[in-house]
Chain A
Amino acid sequence: MWLWFSKLGSPKWFYELSGRWLPWLTAAMIIFMTIGLVWGLLFLPPDYQQGFTSRILIVHVAVAGTSLAFFPLMFVAGTITLVWKMKLADMVAKNAAILGAWFSFVTLATGSLWGSVMWGTWWEWTDSRLVSMLFQLFLLIGVISLRSALEDSETAAKACALLSIVGCINVVIIKYSVEWWNTLHQASSPISTDSSSPNGPEFWIATLIMIVAVYLFLSVSLILATRNEILERERRSQWVRDLVLKS
């Protein structure tokens, strides 16, 4: 177990392993993404209340759900960085912050596109989820800017790890306090397989496919970015030189 764990920390090992995984993950991502997007955006029957606008939700819900995974991910990576001083965890955390900020932004953008039709407004402070997502974006930007401000990469790794842990706890507190602040928020619709529900099962199946697709997209981009990071940071090591000379 511990051998496996310390192996995981080695960038070279991760590079080789992820190289083998990457084609499969990419293929799966393309399949799910194509099915989800084509079916969800072009063929899904309109919602009985929202009409065709509901198709935006297929993408929005998937991206929003995924963007909630970033702070927990950074929390784990940060703990590993601080406790076991594993370089790889920091490389993942660095790119997770950037991707997380981008996912949060896309969540806000697709959400306000949908809101502009359904609520008649692009932005609504009374919706607690919009506001807490906005502050998650701000916190992620804080982590990114702390990293860019610190020059020494080891200090930056530990400092960002600590800030991610503090930030993760804070995101939870912010989420609940914003919900308290707004009693107007709408509850999320539970997934229903019940045939009596007005929309039938197509809706949540499409959303589910899209969620899988977006998670795969997240893994593929995170792996690609981490591999880049590995090559850049380990550029003086022998195995990276051999790799470059071979190609």
Chain B
Amino acid sequence: MSAKQTTTSAAFLATLKRDLLIAIKKKNDIVNPFMFFIIVVSLFPIGISPESDRLREIAAGVIWISVLLASMLSMDNLYRSDYEDGSLEQLLLSPHPLFFLVLAKNISHWLVSGLPVVLVSPLLAYMLNLPAQAYGTLILTLLLGTPIMSLIGSIAVALTVGLGSRGLILAVITLPMSVPVLIFGTLAVQSTLNSLSPLGYLSLMLVMLSVAISLAPLASAAALRISVN
């Protein structure tokens, strides 16, 4: 092989840019999970109770669970189209460490599917009557938690990318793993509501995020190599 033409960081940025461009061109993949999130949240007051007192209690949990469900839905197109058109194989063949390329794909996926959900959450929190003092904590927990979900979900997507009909297997594998994130996310909001400091829970989530960033792409890369052979 001739001298390397690109550095790893250039490959990282190129992958990131490519994925963002594709996402912007295919608007459905961004819009549908986003709409799904808003619709699911709006169903809870109808299904449980429109009373503002009761909504206040469940608001954080409802938003968090809807975020998890929406991230399951958007996860599906993380590697699939790349697998179908063969560019995933090219990614595996590239001389750069797969770790960084997978990380780039995960980051771009989070930017188009996780971030919009985080940005719209204060509006939904308002509609669910969450007290204003908890908005900041809710946004922070979502900012820390949704990337963790993208990183963990990426492992499951990579494992099942070769399957013709995946159906709900992705959710069956990933949702149980989301328990810690859900617990700390809702506990942080809960403690803000009780006028306690949520800092402990937030730092725990930060720990989980850093562990996920350093380990999950490794597992995703290994899973991609297993699925694509």
Residues of B within 8 Å of A153, CB to CB, are none
Residues of A within 8 Å of B222, CB to CB, are 82, 162
Closest beta carbon of chain B to A168's beta carbon, Å: 12
The answer to whether B172 touches A141 (Cβ under 8 A) is: yes
B183: contacting residue among A138, A162, A178, CB under 8 A: A178
- Docked CA distance A138–B168 (Å): 14
Number of B interface residues in the complex (CB < 8 A): 25
Residues of B within 8 Å of A155, CB to CB, are 162, 226-227, 229
A-side binding surface: helix, strand, loop or mixed?
helix
The answer to whether B173 touches A142 (Cβ under 8 A) is: yes
B146-181 interface (Cβ within 8 A of A) = 155-156, 159-160, 162-163, 166, 169, 172-173, 175-177, 179-180
The answer to whether B183 touches A150 (Cβ under 8 A) is: no
A181: contacting residue among B163, B183, B223, B226, CB under 8 A: B183
- Docked CA distance A41–B102 (Å): 55
Q: Mark A225-236, 1 if CB is under 8 A from B, else 0.
A: 000000000000
Q: Which residue in chain B gives the minimum CB-CB distance to A170?
A: B177
B-side binding surface: helix, strand, loop or mixed?
helix
Knowing A162-B219, A166-B219, say if A138 contacts B226 (CB, 8 Å). Answer: no
Asked whether any CB of chain A lies closer than 8 Å to the CB of B88, the reply is no
A122-155 interface (Cβ within 8 A of B) = 135, 138-139, 141-142, 145-146, 149-150, 155
Asked whether any CB of chain A lies closer than 8 Å to the CB of B65, the reply is no
Asked whether any CB of chain A lies closer than 8 Å to the CB of B184, the reply is yes
Closest beta carbon of chain B to A76's beta carbon, Å: 17
- Docked CA distance A135–B229 (Å): 32
Q: Report which A residues bind B (CB closer than 8 A).
A: 82, 135, 138-139, 141-142, 145-146, 149-150, 155, 158-159, 162-163, 165-167, 170, 173-174, 177-178, 180-181
Known contacts A162-B159, A180-B187; 10 additional CB pairs below 8 A are A138-B175, A139-B177, A142-B172, A142-B173, A146-B159, A149-B169, A150-B160, A159-B227, A174-B176, A178-B179
